[in-house]
Chain A
């Protein structure tokens, strides 16, 4: 039972790309933007939840994130690190909401930051591979594109979706990223032909079915003090490491359970949503998520992309930011970047990709192929 209201006071996000900024620089940048959008200053923050997964292995070689942040902030305060792979940002937010509700603190800052593109692509592939099961999957070469490929294939065989449907998801998200100055693919034209002719990474998935690894940071300040955006639902669930082990490979039970909690807390239904930012690390994940989040009945997810429902001018725009696919996927910041986009849409600050006055928005942040999921529902009080 939700006992206390939680509001989003401010959000911040760096441009996602392949620059070589340090974590310090990125964090300062997002905090600056976060605070600028509020009437608060940094002293008003009581607790920090951080999420980071790559600083141990890249040039920063930093394992101890809390004290590292304390050094940067020049403050003695509770700082918790919540590494949860690709779901890091969303899981950190879920933790911070629950902490805020159960403690006497007033304001919490949640930050996600990662410099994943600082190693060779082979090493990055290997680093990300560590998020999967070691003995049965890693040793058999089942990297994340391959896992998603097998899931997509099972879905296609069972429900008749095609590679063309996946291509439409990629195209939609690239079209949205074209107008997002913070996206990796900002002002970069990607056509359906380019998508369909891109090299096969793990059949049936092509290069453009995969999100792009980037560096970046994102942050949000949540508070008990009323604001214009309220977090009305927050759910999180973890399930088995391997999608192959699940009874039904074509759905993500973690998303279904996290969404159920979030919808129940929010008191709304999927059809009430006006916008959603979904975890399209691979295009089939967006397709599966349509169904797991209740946007479509099982096996009918592809209809939403075919009939334009999830396009920016559709009745439920999905990934107006460009998604992980075209905005970029920096691992830990991803979930908070989704909150950033929905908040900006609710504040009417999205320029060319602005949709019409969204009241309810949903963010779904996933780790692995549905290994864990954090689902948050935001309400625009304006």
Chain B
């Protein structure tokens, strides 16, 4: 498909949408060419950061209107060949689309490539974006409001009238405030669609493979369109189709899933949920220290679409050249991932031709260069509050401290590490069990100001071997002071 915006009166064409011709002021028409053939080709042998794998081919396509477009491919074509994209054959197919300026057209075209979309106009639909924290759209923590708007527009065009948007922010963050800052609330208001905070939902219990899940009622009762931002995740490796559905269960279930082992329980949750379609938002995407504000925008300009979340996350992981996350391996079968990936049905842009070298997250990094994390599958409340705390200390001089988190801590993980802080009850108990004395203990219920005062004093004082009663009093008083100040 080649799209152009044409002013017939002035005989001018644009490669991106222009509302009115700059010369005559008349509205321009969208011209969509679908009969494309190969009129030129080249094999490229030099790698670049955007295209790290060589050789690759570029074919030059021309449509029935004479419009041209280059296309990267690993397949060999000949001049004169007809270029077409076939529809998916299975439910597990992953559609990969490089967006060409027109997000709405790319979305529709991509969904048309699914073997079936499975949403009818009489269906009740829930769009499950990613709304994890208060962040602006450019920061890409949350789903692009533009994409959400296009999805709603498309559903309305199909005649679907019962649509809601639902999610819950990360533990510790307010969903509405996050939706507001991300622009998602505005999109909901504009389209007269309710935003549902799934944290306040009624929950339905479902057991899958021995694990009990309390799942938001709306998820069980509606057709779901999952719209995660495709990101790296410094804890899990990848945040995508599967991880985004973690926030359809209540917070207790989330904690329990981490307590048991998130890498094993996340695939079980996916099995427990009704079938859903995922529209993976890589309109920008995120890499490095995702999935929160510590990550960097990736400028991928792609969509990943599938009815199979495991296939979608696998495809994203492969495209991004990322180490395969354990939970994906768990879902595909621990020793079967390589064979699974080879058999993946990819439609649209080829996986090899879409490769985009994403920055792998450093699991030990926090926002402060001197604060290192030792994460042993800690729950989101512990993990993200630790990250947040490190963000608040950015810019302060200090000496290395190691924040140990999670109940899966081992001697090997903490071996050789000095100035360890046990962060969260799981870590406090585990370090006791391992006979390791941390410099300080920070339980979940410690107030934010108290926590920060304590961390700051340890960070700044290299001689501190343990936290004194005086330190504890000081941080408690700081916390109390903040509370009193807040009360007035």
Contacts and interface: CB of A to CB of B under 8 A. Distances in A.
Question: Most chain-A Cβ atoms within 10 A of its Cβ — which of B15, B39, B51, B353?
Answer: B51
Contact of B15 (A145, A153, A200, A245): A245
B350 to A, nearest CB: 12
Nearest to B102: A135
B301 A146 contact: no
B44 A146 contact: yes
B194 interface: no
Nearest to A247: B66
A150 B48 contact: no
Contact of B42 (A125, A133, A135, A153): A153
A138 B42 contact: no
Contacts of B70: 136-137, 140, 142, 146, 150, 244
Given A135-B101, A140-B72, A122 B47 contact: yes
Interface string B32-61: 000000011111111111110000101010
B58 A150 contact: yes
B301 A143 contact: no
Contacts of A137: 70
B100 interface: yes
Contacts of B15: 133, 135-136, 242, 245
A203 B60 contact: no
Given A150-B58, A244-B60, A136 B100 contact: yes
Contacts of B101: 135
A354 to B, nearest CB: 37
A195 interface: no
Contact of B46 (A138, A145, A204): A145
Contact of A150 (B42, B49, B72, B98): B42
Contacts of B60: 150, 244
Nearest to A204: B42
Given A140-B58, A141-B44, A203-B42, A123 B49 contact: yes
Interface string A129-166: 10001011111111101100110011001000000000
Nearest to B39: A154
Contact of A126 (B41, B42, B50): B50
Given A135-B100, A136-B69, A146-B58, A141 B50 contact: yes
A245 B2 CA distance: 12
B68 interface: yes
Question: Most chain-B Cβ atoms within 10 A of its Cβ — which of A138, A139, A153, A245?
Answer: A139
B50 A150 contact: no
B40 A126 contact: no
A320 to B, nearest CB: 29
Nearest to B71: A140
B371 to A, nearest CB: 28
B98 A139 contact: yes
Interface string B83-127: 000000000000000111100000000000000000000000000
B46 A202 contact: yes
Given A137-B70, A150-B60, A201 B50 contact: no
A199 interface: yes
Nearest to B99: A135
Nearest to B16: A135
A137 B70 CA distance: 7
B38 to A, nearest CB: 11
B203 to A, nearest CB: 42
A150 B79 CA distance: 12
B58 A141 contact: yes
A262 B60 CA distance: 34
Contacts of A139: 50, 72, 98, 301
A342 B40 CA distance: 37
A143 B46 contact: yes
Contact of A122 (B43, B48, B99, B301): B48
A154 B79 CA distance: 11
A143 B48 contact: yes
Nearest to B69: A136
Interface string A212-244: 000000000000000000000000000000101
A49 to B, nearest CB: 30
Contacts of A143: 44, 46, 48, 51
Sort A-B residue pairs by CB-CB distance and give the 8 closest, nearest first. Answer: A149-B42, A141-B51, A125-B48, A140-B72, A141-B72, A203-B43, A140-B70, A202-B44
Interface of B: 13, 15-16, 39-51, 56, 58, 60, 68-72, 79, 98-101, 301, 353
19 contacts: A122-B47, A125-B48, A135-B100, A136-B100, A138-B50, A140-B71, A140-B72, A141-B50, A141-B56, A142-B70, A142-B72, A143-B46, A145-B46, A149-B42, A150-B60, A201-B46, A242-B15, A244-B69, A245-B15
Given A135-B16, A141-B50, 4 more contacts: A129-B50, A135-B15, A142-B70, A143-B44
